[in-house]
């Protein structure tokens, strides 16, 4: 879990990235970090990690987490409902540790301005991976179940330590 | 202090009787004795089943097996059965659709099953919805529990 200091630190780094990229116009904050704080909260680890990799909260902006947690009845095709109290605790953690940006109205939104739900839909994800790296052939070679199967290419350290190396 | 021999024999008989009672539940189907938390969950479902149908007498591992192993059509196409994720053999590990291992469901190999009421209700809620397209009844929950803890 992030401490206030590390959050400030990340925010400072993120704003640095925004400044650096604002020249070229591409500016999703947090997109260039290869390390995201891994999920350490026991409740979040239990509830999110029961079915899939414990995705670091910093991989999605707060608005996306909000939309995901509001739609657990159909969570990418599966019922992942939680009781209200548990859902609120999980959401609080995700919001507090979410990617600092982008804000509403930026490119990380769908056609109708809705927050993008999938990590693999985020502009930084597409930019970092490119069509070749996540092509059907490439995924098959790595035995990846989908482009969201981070550990297939990045290794289990992606989940345990939040390290996403090439 | 050592109690007299007659009292010890008496205790032994009582213990054996209690063990035999614990073994024979669910309508005569022999199953392993439940732990206290499992018994509490069982009793909760039994009370709810009785409230829904006064003729209810006991859960059935046979009915539970049929529900668990059966193929259903009311839910999602990717998960027509409990076995879609848990495999045909509940003594073995299953796998979620995203690839995470699911610990065995059979009580004999995984005594933690059915020990946390909130978790049990959470998974019945999700999985009955995905597999059957509806909530499970207390009778169905108790039957599947009898099947899995009896394996």
Residue closest to B76 by CA, chosen among A111, A151, A79, A123: A79
ipTM reported for the complex, 2 dp: 0.77
pLDDT digits (tens, 9 = 90+) for A41-72: 999 999 999 999 999 999 999 999 999 999 99
Q: Which range is least confidently modeled, A88-102, B55-69, B87-101, B130-144? A: A88-102
Residue A131 has pLDDT above 60, yes or no: yes
pLDDT attached to residue A166: 74
Q: Would you place residue B86 in the very low, low, confident or very high pLDDT band (cuts 50, 70, 90)?
A: very high
Q: Please indicate, yes or no, whether the overall pTM of this predicted structure exceeds 0.80.
A: no
Whether residue A52 lies within 8 A of chain B, CB to CB, comes out as yes
CA dist., res. B21 & res. B62, Å (int): 19
Q: Would you place residue A108 in the very low, low, confident or very high pLDDT band (cuts 50, 70, 90)?
A: low
Q: Would you place residue A120 in the very low, low, confident or very high pLDDT band (cuts 50, 70, 90)?
A: very high
Using alpha carbons, list the distances in angstroms from residue A129 to A39, A42, B7, B62.
Answer: 23, 30, 76, 51
Mean pLDDT of A86-100: 95
pLDDT attached to residue A26: 34
Q: Which are the contacts of B79, defined by CB distance < 8 A and separation ≥ 6?
A: A78, B85, B97, B127, B130, B131
pLDDT attached to residue A103: 54
Please list the residues that pair with B29 across neighbouring strands: B25
> How many CB atoms neighbour CB B9 within 10 A?
10
Whether residue B98 lies within 8 A of chain A, CB to CB, comes out as yes
> What is the helix (H) or strand (E) element at residue A22, kind and residue range?
helix A4-22
DSSP B55: T
Q: How many CA atoms lie within 13 A of B63 on its CB side?
A: 14
Q: Nearest by CB to A52, which of B79, B100, B122?
A: B100
pLDDT attached to residue A12: 45
pLDDT digits (tens, 9 = 90+) for B29-59: 545 689 999 999 999 999 999 999 999 999 9
Inter-residue contact B62 to B52 (CB < 8 Å):
no
Q: From A49, which residue of chain B is nearest by alpha-carbon distance?
A: B100
Residues of chain A in contact with residue B98, where contact means CB-CB under 8 angstroms, are: 51-53, 145, 148-149
Inter-residue contact B142 to B57 (CB < 8 Å):
no
Question: Phi/psi at A54 (nearest 5 deg)?
Answer: -75, 90
């Amino acid at each position: 879990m992030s401490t206030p200091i590390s959050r400030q630190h990340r925010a400072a780094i993120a704003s640095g990235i925004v400044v650096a990229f604002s020249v070229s116009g591409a500016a999703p904050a947090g997109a260039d970090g290869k390390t995201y704080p891994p999920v350490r909260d026991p409740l979040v680890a239990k509830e999110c990690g029961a079915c899939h990799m414990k995705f670091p909260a910093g991989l999605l902006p707060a608005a996306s987490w909000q939309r995901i947690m509001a739609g657990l009845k159909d969570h990418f095709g599966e019922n992942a409902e939680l009781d209200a109290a548990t859902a609120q605790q999980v959401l609080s953690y995700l919001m507090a540790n979410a990617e600092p940006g982008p804000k509403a109205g930026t490119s990380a939104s769908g056609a109708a301005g809705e927050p993008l739900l999938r990590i693999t839909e985020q502009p930084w994800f597409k930019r970092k991976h490119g069509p070749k790296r996540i092509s059907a052939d490439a995924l098959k070679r790595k035995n990846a179940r989908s482009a969201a199967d981070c550990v297939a290419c990045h290794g289990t350290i992606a989940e345990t330590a939040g390290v996403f190396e090439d | 202090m050592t109690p007299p021999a007659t009292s010890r024999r008496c205790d032994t008989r009582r213990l054996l009787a209690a063990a035999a009672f614990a073994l024979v539940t669910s309508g005569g189907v022999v199953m392993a004795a439940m732990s206290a938390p499992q018994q509490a969950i069982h009793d909760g479902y039994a009370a709810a089943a009785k409230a829904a149908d006064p003729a209810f007498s006991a859960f059935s591992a046979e009915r539970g097996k049929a529900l668990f192993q059966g193929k259903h059509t009311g839910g999602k196409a990717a998960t027509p059965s409990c076995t879609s994720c848990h495999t045909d053999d509940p003594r073995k590990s299953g796998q979620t659709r995203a690839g995470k291992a699911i610990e065995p469901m059979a009580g004999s190999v995984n005594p933690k099953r059915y020990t946390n009421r909130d978790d049990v209700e959470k998974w019945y809620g999700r999985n009955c919805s995905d597999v059957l397209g509806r909530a499970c009844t207390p009778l169905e929950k108790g039957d599947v529990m009898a099947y899995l803890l009896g394996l």
